[in-house]
A and B are shown apart, each in its own frame.
Chain A
């Protein structure tokens, strides 16, 4: 009895330790995003998007490399949106000899993790980190399938000044790496296009009360209020604009262009304009199918799931062309990617940013996001 228990125990221990004896016909891919904490819904969304891609690839027969069939396996880890945990997760992926990593959600996690992946030579494709610095660290392993702040910010500024003819703009950001990055790039591009930034206000990513800053903004009578931040803040912000009788046009980035924003803003959502990279989902070849499949399995799409989905395919595509899942072999192939994904046409510039930064603008009409126009610009910086 004792011996059997001991054997079982050592079996458990061995299983726990077996980090590098993966079965020969399996390719492991990591997914890193916050699965707990306030951004858990976005992190889970990314993990689900990647999981769907992995399952779709496996269902379609897996990846055939040099005549041998491989199945993909996804290891989803929680980085808690914390830079420290992110590097630990990255190191664990490196120890597990994963072939590549989809992640992280936040730039603040992607950037420190990038150094670990670079050391280990593992390609990292972020579906949602937009800080310019992420791909400009000089690491060959860092890629993203999402427009960067500069691409999105200048598209938004272009729309604000040319289409909305905004002269006076108030800018609000949530002092996170994402919100501040996008707001700064927007403000820079808008000023270049001839608009005036009449007020610059700030909030935090936990705030729900914006009445004070909106009261100040109202006093400066802007045509457009730009918000760099996420939907949990944008929703009440839109409500409170209405409450104060501030009738300027609300404009936001991809953090705002979500169904949750409409849910949280209620009636006040109507008229809001926000951007999201890529083409509208239903205008993409595989978009409608993706939406259907994803929704049936995981419920509504939060935001970046399609990008996580594409990131896995981009990686698989490079492996296919290299005929190898060895990072050293397929990493160079990522540079020559030309992949038609759910979110758009994916190819990279020399930094690992999207060569074609396609950004679509949407407007809330009758509590639904309706596409307005799609703008394309090449990677700035």
Chain B
């Protein structure tokens, strides 16, 4: 297909229609559970996009990224639940959570500027664990986070009297809570994608690429390493915090166990699997890794319908298959499913 303006417009319209119709198709075809899964996938896309700025653009390996997600989630939860009896409006709480996370991104970034590669990985990992442990223990001497019990009955995301958790099937058949969240999350994901793309092709993006490829050379050519690295941490953390706030409102419950190290590793897997540095690849990775375990779950259900019993319990093999998929994927396409052009060139270059 040639890229005439007409064709481009056509394919964009087709994509837009698909994205708009998707939740309804899923809901009536497979059930609301699947809309919820897509909602989660969109949240993970936001996280993956945020982490991609730190790891994919600036080349800083961050294994504690989930901490920013946790902060956004807890800011939302504390200011919008019976925990303190506060019910602040969403348009205050979400930016506040994102800003808090961004601030901590800078706080984490400042002392670690000198560290590189795997040392940075272990320090960020430690930072992630420290945040989780604090959240898990700050119920004494003053009860702030309610400790391991978590915070429940968090207010859903609402604008005025419109709550995203309530069904509005009287307006439109099938307009359920998960479907409404889908549109909200989709809009924000698209916004973050747009910001990320603009960043990538800006002066800042080129500076990050330079730092990623050769820190010494970048510094020698007059790039202020410190500022650009901090900016990467802050931007990534802000998106993470925003996603966290949305998660708290969507889920209605947060507890520290949702923000463990394995989650950070999962998000890293998403961006590497999808194609580091490429916004579309990263989103693809997030979608696949969120949906994959759920798709396997369906196999059990299918066996039940087909044979009346579960012959091979996919629960036993789900994680095993997931692990194998990671290995095979990396062996076949080490630059990811949808590599960024620059990273792709790097790989091709090293081979020759």
CB-CB under 8 A for A15 and B257, given A84-B251, A133-B152, A180-B147: no
Taken residue by residue from 14 to 25, chain A's Cβ proximity to chain B (1 for < 8 Å, 0 otherwise) reads as 011111100000
**Is B30 part of the binding interface, using a Cβ–Cβ cutoff of 8 Å?**
yes
In the complex the two chains form, is B137's CB within 8 Å of A175's CB? yes
User: Which residue of A16, A20, A88, A95 is within 8 Å of B294 (Cβ)?
Assistant: A88
In the complex the two chains form, is B32's CB within 8 Å of A95's CB? yes
Once the chains are docked, how many angstroms separate the CA of A17 from the CA of B27? 11
Pairs of residues from A and B, 9 with the lowest C-beta to C-beta distance, nearest first: A95-B31, A92-B33, A112-B253, A91-B33, A35-B315, A177-B148, A78-B315, A15-B305, A180-B148
In the complex the two chains form, is B136's CB within 8 Å of A94's CB? no
Once the chains are docked, how many angstroms separate the CA of A133 from the CA of B109? 38
Once the chains are docked, how many angstroms separate the CA of A91 from the CA of B31? 9
Once the chains are docked, how many angstroms separate the CA of A347 from the CA of B306? 39
CB-CB under 8 A for A36 and B318, given A83-B253, A84-B258, A180-B148: yes
Which interface residue of B149, B252, B318 has the most chain A CB atoms within 10 A?
B149
Q: What residue in chain A is nearest B176 (Cβ atoms)?
A: A119
Chain A contacts of B298 at CB under 8 A? 16
Least distance between B82 CB and chain A CB atoms (Å): 10
In the complex the two chains form, is B306's CB within 8 Å of A112's CB? no
**Is B274 part of the binding interface, using a Cβ–Cβ cutoff of 8 Å?**
no
Q: Which chain B residues have a beta carbon within 8 Å of chain A's beta carbons?
A: 29-33, 36-37, 40, 136-137, 139, 147-150, 152-153, 177-178, 251-255, 257-258, 294, 297-298, 301-302, 304-306, 313, 315-316, 318-319
Q: What residue in chain A is nearest B178 (Cβ atoms)?
A: A91
Chain B contacts of A82 at CB under 8 A? 257-258
In the complex the two chains form, is B177's CB within 8 Å of A175's CB? no
Known: A91-B31, A91-B33. 5 other contacts (CB 8 A): A17-B29, A75-B301, A83-B251, A108-B257, A177-B150
Q: What residue in chain B is nearest A202 (Cβ atoms)?
A: B137
Main secondary structure on B side of the interface with A = helix
CB-CB under 8 A for A88 and B304, given A78-B315, A83-B258: no
In the complex the two chains form, is A92's CB within 8 Å of B315's CB? no
Chain A contacts of B139 at CB under 8 A? 180
Chain A contacts of B152 at CB under 8 A? 111-112, 133, 137
Least distance between B99 CB and chain A CB atoms (Å): 25
Once the chains are docked, how many angstroms separate the CA of A75 from the CA of B148? 29
**Is A151 part of the binding interface, using a Cβ–Cβ cutoff of 8 Å?**
no
Q: What residue in chain B is nearest A47 (Cβ atoms)?
A: B315
Q: What residue in chain A is nearest B146 (Cβ atoms)?
A: A133
**Is A131 part of the binding interface, using a Cβ–Cβ cutoff of 8 Å?**
yes
Chain B contacts of A84 at CB under 8 A? 40, 251, 258
Chain B contacts of A138 at CB under 8 A? 153
Chain A contacts of B297 at CB under 8 A? 77-78, 92
Main secondary structure on A side of the interface with B = helix
Residue pairs across A and B with Cβ atoms less than 8 A apart, 10 shown, are A20-B31, A35-B315, A83-B150, A84-B40, A88-B37, A94-B32, A95-B32, A131-B149, A175-B137, A175-B147
Chain B contacts of A180 at CB under 8 A? 139, 147-149
User: Which residue of A16, A78, A87, A108 is within 8 Å of B36 (Cβ)?
Assistant: A87
CB-CB under 8 A for A16 and B257, given A78-B318, A87-B251, A177-B150: no
Least distance between B98 CB and chain A CB atoms (Å): 20
CB-CB under 8 A for A108 and B315, given A16-B298, A84-B40, A91-B36: no
In the complex the two chains form, is B255's CB within 8 Å of A108's CB? yes
Once the chains are docked, how many angstroms separate the CA of A35 from the CA of B298? 15
Least distance between B28 CB and chain A CB atoms (Å): 9
Least distance between A85 CB and chain B CB atoms (Å): 8
Chain B contacts of A326 at CB under 8 A? none
In the complex the two chains form, is A96's CB within 8 Å of B31's CB? yes
Q: What residue in chain A is nearest B43 (Cβ atoms)?
A: A84
In the complex the two chains form, is A19's CB within 8 Å of B31's CB? yes
Least distance between A332 CB and chain B CB atoms (Å): 23
**Is A239 part of the binding interface, using a Cβ–Cβ cutoff of 8 Å?**
no
In the complex the two chains form, is A92's CB within 8 Å of B251's CB? no
**Is A12 part of the binding interface, using a Cβ–Cβ cutoff of 8 Å?**
yes
User: Which residue of B149, B178, B316 is within 8 Å of A177 (Cβ)?
Assistant: B149
Least distance between A246 CB and chain B CB atoms (Å): 25
Chain A contacts of B177 at CB under 8 A? 119
Within 8 A of B (CB), among A160-187: 175-177, 179-181
Within 8 A of B (CB), among A105-143: 107-108, 111-112, 115, 119, 131, 133, 137-138
